[in-house]
Amino acid sequence: MSQQHEQLRVLIVRLGAMGDILHALPAVAALRQAHPKWYLGWAVEPRWRALLCGDGGEMPLVDRAHLVQAKDWARAPLRGETWREIGALRHGLRAEQYELCIDLQGAVRSALTGRLAGTPRMIGEDRPREWAARWLFKQRVATKGVHMIEQAVEVCAAAAGERLSPILPPLPVNREAELWADGVLRGASHRPVVLLSPGAGWGAKRWPAERYGAVAAELHAQGCMVLVNAGPEEQAIAAEVVRASAGVVQAPEFTTPDSTLERLIAVIRRVSLVIAGDTGPLHLACALGKPVVGIYGPTDPSRNGPFGVPFRVLRHPESKRDHTRHAEPEAGLLTITPEQVADAAKDLLGCKQ
């Protein structure tokens, strides 16, 4: 291997969303482990910066994070400030002199972000999620894996020219959030701690909050401490879970102006199990090596379900993959009972009776 290849400068592009970034992390962690001397940059939306950067600026996985205000730019493409920010991003990317860009998003906006870096090589999937993006890649990879993590690993492996296997990624630490999480779990003693995350990106993926409450009541009766997570604008869902559980669920204040994601990371580091649908918190739990119960409806768990950890997935056999953003829960999702979810949870916790 040449000296140049030993110190390759690589830009990763995976702008968002939370779950998708988490699906890319095991592939990039494998790349980092195989080539610790490579300089790795990552282009990411600012709201997901905490998945790469700690509060002290330390980055356990990459060397540089480039913040991309892609959604703001899309809302105001003709604004002068938009063009100034894009110009500053282009300048920052080119200053790093990246030799290779790996697009792990497969969207036009991610491919255009990668092209701003001006790298000699730009690689992405042969069949990206947005077909037009493939024409912006200089090298295309025909992936065979079913799961998104497997596909990301294949793209990174092709870029590196060697076999890679996904590994658990190191996630950064926020000290304030860690202290806050210690306080939240102070009353847990030696009890198992279970985190429920009832929110979802759209209604068709959202198992009813009252059913989460019923699961919480059963797990509390088994001696567990049960917490409920609610992302921004999901406090009403969390409150419904608490009511349905007859008040046994605790609802800590995850949502803050500055550290919502950091607090979620810190709490999940400490829990015994996460129960959620196809959402970012479920994928975050997997990235942190935690067992999960996944409650799936219109999305396919073989493609974006739990990966690399002990898990149970509940899904009706007649549920079909459908990313249409319906407001109401998918019919198959509603066939899953609280008893089934509680049994799966107790099985993973080792307390099934």
> Among 161-165, 173-177, 186-190, whose mean pLDDT is lowest?
186-190
Mean pLDDT of the chain: 94
pLDDT band at residue 258 using 50, 70 and 90 as cut-offs: confident
pLDDT at 15 over 60: yes
Strand residues in the chain grouped as ranges (E) = 9-13, 39-44, 64-67, 100-103, 121-125, 139-141, 193-197, 225-228, 273-276, 292-295, 311-314
pLDDT at 150 over 60: yes
The mean pLDDT of 80-108, rounded to a whole number, is 96
In eight-state DSSP terms, residue 342 is H
* pLDDT value of position 4: 45
The mean pLDDT of 166-193, rounded to a whole number, is 93
* Of 201, 340, 198, 223, nearest in space to 275 by CA: 198
pLDDT band at residue 94 using 50, 70 and 90 as cut-offs: very high
pLDDT at 1 over 50: no
For residue range 26-63, list pLDDT tens digits in order.
999 999 999 999 999 999 999 999 999 999 889 999 99
DSSP 167-208: -PPP----HHHHHHHHHHTGGGTTS-EEEEE---SSGGG---
* Of 276, 269, 275, 227, nearest in space to 252 by CA: 227
Cα 342 from Cα 351, distance rounded (Å) = 11
pLDDT at 296 over 80: yes
pLDDT at 2 over 60: no
pLDDT band at residue 5 using 50, 70 and 90 as cut-offs: low
SS3 64: strand
For residue range 212-234, list pLDDT tens digits in order.
999 999 999 999 999 999 888 88
For residue range 191-213, list pLDDT tens digits in order.
999 999 999 989 999 999 999 99
* Of 93, 110, 91, nearest in space to 102 by CA: 110
Whether the CB-CB separation of 12 and 41 falls below 8 Å is answered with: yes
Residue owning tokens 């950067």: 53
* pLDDT value of position 351: 72
Alpha carbons within 13 A on the beta-carbon side of 200: 27
Cα 205 from Cα 202, distance rounded (Å) = 6
In eight-state DSSP terms, residue 250 is B
Domains and CATH numbers, the chain: 3-160 (3.40.50.2000), 175-349 (3.40.50.2000)
β-pairing verdict for 139-141 and 193-197: unpaired
Question: At a CB cut-off of 8 Å and minimum separation 6, what does 91 contact?
Answer: none
pLDDT band at residue 78 using 50, 70 and 90 as cut-offs: confident
User: pTM (2 decimals)?
Assistant: 0.94
* Of 4, 87, 82, nearest in space to 38 by CA: 4
Share of the chain residues as helix, strand and coil, in percent rounded to the nearest 5: 45, 15, 45
The mean pLDDT of 286-298, rounded to a whole number, is 97
* pLDDT value of position 353: 45
* pLDDT value of position 74: 87
pLDDT at 293 over 60: yes
